[in-house]
Chains A and B, each alone.
Chain A
Amino acid sequence: MPENQKQPEAVRIADTVATDMGTQIDSPLNTGVVGAAAIPGVGTPSPVGGRLRDFWRIVTVNRKVTIGFFIIVFFVLVSIFGPLLVHQDPNALSNETLMPPSAQHWLGTTQTGQDVFAQLVYGTQSSIFWGFLTGVAVTIISLVIGLAAGYFGGVVDDIISLFTNIFILIPGLPLALVLAAFFPFKGLITVSLVIIITGWPWNARVIRAQTLSMRNRDFVESARANGENIWRILFSEILPNEISIIMAGLIGAVISAIVTSVGLQFIGLGKATDVTWGTMLYLAQNGDALFLGAWWWIIPPGLCVAFVAAALSLINYGVDEVANPKLRSEPQPKKVKAKLAAKAEKNEKAVA
Chain B
Amino acid sequence: MRYLLRRIGFYLIALWASVTLNFLIPRLAPGNPAEILIARFQGRIQPQALQALELQFGITNQPLWQQYLTYLNNTLHGNLGLSITYFPSPVTTMLAQELPWTLGLTFISLLISFILGTFLGALIAWRRGTFLDSLLPPVFSFISAIPQFFLALVLLYVLGFMMGLFPLHGGYDNFVTIGLNPDFIGNVLYHSILPAVTIVVVSLSGWMLGMRNAMVTTLSEDYVLMAQAKGLPESQVMLRYAARNALLPNITGFALSLGFVVSGQLLIEIVFSYPGIGFALLQAVQNSDYALMQGIFLCITIVMLIANFLVDLIYVVLDPRVRQTRS
Contact = CB atoms under 8 A, between A and B. Distances in A.
A233 B145 CA distance: 38
Interface residues of B, number: 66
A175 B203 CA distance: 21
Contact of B128 (A4, A184, A330): A330
Contacts of B314: none
Contact of B144 (A2, A166, A170): A2
Interface of B: 10, 13-14, 17-18, 21, 25-26, 28-30, 128-129, 133-134, 138, 141-142, 144-147, 149-150, 153-154, 156-157, 161, 168, 203, 206, 209-210, 213, 216-217, 220, 249, 253, 256-257, 259-260, 263-264, 266-267, 270-271, 281-282, 284-286, 288, 290, 293-294, 296-297, 300-301, 304-305, 308
Contacts of B294: 178
Contact of B25 (A178, A267, A310): A178
A174 to B, nearest CB: 5
Tell me the interface secondary structure of chain B in the complex. helix
Task: Pick the most buried of B147, B149, B157, B282: most chain A CB atoms within 10 A of its CB.
Answer: B147
Interface string A6-28: 00110000000000000000000
Task: Pick the most buried of B18, B284, B290: most chain A CB atoms within 10 A of its CB.
Answer: B18
Nearest to A184: B30
Interface string A305-325: 110011001100100000000
A268 B286 contact: yes
Contact of A182 (B29, B156, B281): B29
Which of the four size classes fits the interface of chain A? Answer: 35 or more
A164 B287 CA distance: 32
Contact of A310 (B14, B141, B270, B296): B141
A165 B10 contact: yes
Nearest to B300: A174
Given A175-B297, A178-B25, A181-B288, A306 B150 contact: yes
22 contacts: A1-B257, A5-B253, A165-B10, A166-B14, A166-B17, A170-B14, A170-B18, A174-B263, A174-B266, A174-B301, A178-B297, A179-B25, A184-B30, A263-B267, A267-B285, A302-B147, A305-B146, A309-B145, A314-B138, A326-B220, A327-B213, A330-B129
Contact of B153 (A175, A183, A290): A290
A281 interface: yes
Contacts of B150: 281, 302, 305-306
Contacts of B260: 1, 171
B147 A305 contact: yes
Given A182-B28, A329-B134, A266 B18 contact: no
A306 B206 contact: no
A223 B202 CA distance: 48
B282 A306 contact: no
Contact of B141 (A266, A285, A317): A317
A177 B293 CA distance: 9
Contacts of B206: 1-2, 5
A350 interface: no
A281 to B, nearest CB: 7
A174 B149 contact: no
Contacts of B145: 255, 306, 309-310, 313
Contact of A266 (B13, B142, B149): B149
A205 to B, nearest CB: 14
B129 A331 contact: yes
A173 interface: yes
Contacts of B271: 285
Contact of B305 (A2, A169, A173, A305): A169
B282 A267 contact: yes
B216 A182 contact: no
A266 B147 CA distance: 11
A174 B281 contact: yes
Given A174-B263, A326-B217, A306 B142 contact: yes
Contacts of A84: none
A185 to B, nearest CB: 10
A9 B25 CA distance: 35
A8 to B, nearest CB: 8
A79 B31 CA distance: 38
A162 interface: yes
Given A170-B21, A298-B153, A305-B147, 9 more contacts: A5-B210, A177-B281, A177-B285, A263-B267, A266-B149, A267-B267, A306-B146, A314-B141, A330-B129
